[in-house]
Amino acid sequence: AKGTHLKAQLDGEHNDFVQATVRIGDIINKRMRSPWLWPSCIFNRLPIGREHTKLLNILHSFSRKIIEERLVTFNAKQMINNDDKKCTHRLVFLDCLLTQMQEKKLSFDDIHEEVDTFMFAGHDTTAAAINFFCYL
């Protein structure tokens, strides 16, 4: 969907993004089950909160890197397909967002937020929601 292949199944143990995604899911799960961790002023001062921040930085830098790499290839394709040629193939999701950025409808930060949402939305979203409601 984003035009990037992670090959997470092949080297998941050695992939920082995969490890950070799994660990941050565990932290979110633990935070949902522990009401004393809900206030951010407490959570952020604990080791688990600092780890959460570190993992978020890994995830954000990974998605930022993907966007920047895709932007380079997208701009190169735009230069080739420029002028009267219409693009006849379907654009991947990230290319659609980059098109919106070129048209000044979205900023880089807007695209970054969308990519972060889609990258994490595919991981444990349903399970996390069910888990949260079980503990209510």
Rounded Cα–Cα distance for residues 59 and 53 (Å): 10
Domain coverage including residue 40: 8-134
pLDDT in tens, the chain (136 residues): 455 666 655 665 668 888 898 899 899 989 999 999 999 999 999 999 999 999 999 999 998 998 888 888 877 777 666 654 555 566 778 888 888 888 888 899 999 998 888 877 766 677 677 777 887 7
Look up the pTM and report it: 0.71
User: Residue 58's CB: how many other CB atoms inside 10 A?
Assistant: 16
Q: Residue 63 falls within a domain, yes or no?
A: yes
Q: Residue 3 falls within a domain, yes or no?
A: no
**How many domains is the chain partitioned into structurally?**
1
Specify the pLDDT at position 72: 86
Q: Residue 49 falls within a domain, yes or no?
A: yes
Tokens, residue 47:
């080791």
For residue 119, the surrounding DSSP H or E stretch is: helix 108-121
Q: Residue 1 falls within a domain, yes or no?
A: no
Specify the pLDDT at position 1: 44
Q: Residue 20 falls within a domain, yes or no?
A: yes
Specify the pLDDT at position 104: 85
Tokens, residue 8:
């997470």
Specify the pLDDT at position 85: 55
Tokens, residue 36:
């004393």
Q: Residue 65 falls within a domain, yes or no?
A: yes
Instruction: Give tens-digit pLDDT for 62-99.
Output: 989 988 888 888 777 776 666 545 555 667 788 888 88
Cα(first)–Cα(last) distance of the chain, in Å? 35
Q: Residue 2 falls within a domain, yes or no?
A: no
